[in-house]
């Protein structure tokens, strides 16, 4: 079982985030907006099943997965990528 990260997390800083997004080939407009945001994270964990909610004034996003199992993350509406 993974470490327990249950809780509500507030972002304090986000160093080199724009460079990270640039490496992912995220377009410049989305990078600039994302770099201004300080989203909170709510993590709900039940054994190996994890739900991570990213909450911001711009957009909320929910990612749900089982630890150790490959899954597809659909980022349509964020930057239109699909990731494994």
- CATH code of the domain in which 78 resides: 2.40.128.20
The yes-or-no verdict on residue 1 having pLDDT over 70 is no
- How many domains is the chain built from? 1
**pLDDT at residue 58, as a whole number:** 79
Question: Does 34 or 2 have the greater pLDDT score?
Answer: 34
Report in angstroms the alpha-carbon separations of 17 from 22, 23, 45, 46, 76: 9, 10, 26, 29, 20
Domain contains 56: yes
Domain contains 1: no
Domain contains 2: no
Cα torsion 18, 19, 24, 26: sign: positive
Domain contains 63: yes
The yes-or-no verdict on residue 4 having pLDDT over 80 is yes
Residues 11 and 38 sit within 8 Å (Cβ to Cβ): yes
């Amino acid at each position: 079982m993974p470490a327990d990260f249950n809780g509500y997390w507030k972002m304090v800083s986000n160093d080199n985030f724009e460079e990270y997004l640039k490496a992912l080939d995220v377009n410049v407009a989305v990078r600039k907006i994302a770099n201004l945001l300080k989203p909170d994270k709510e993590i709900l964990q039940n054994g190996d099943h994890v739900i991570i909610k990213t909450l911001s004034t711009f957009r909320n996003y929910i990612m749900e997965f089982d630890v150790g199992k490959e899954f597809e993350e659909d980022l349509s509406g964020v930057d239109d990528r699909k990731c494994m």
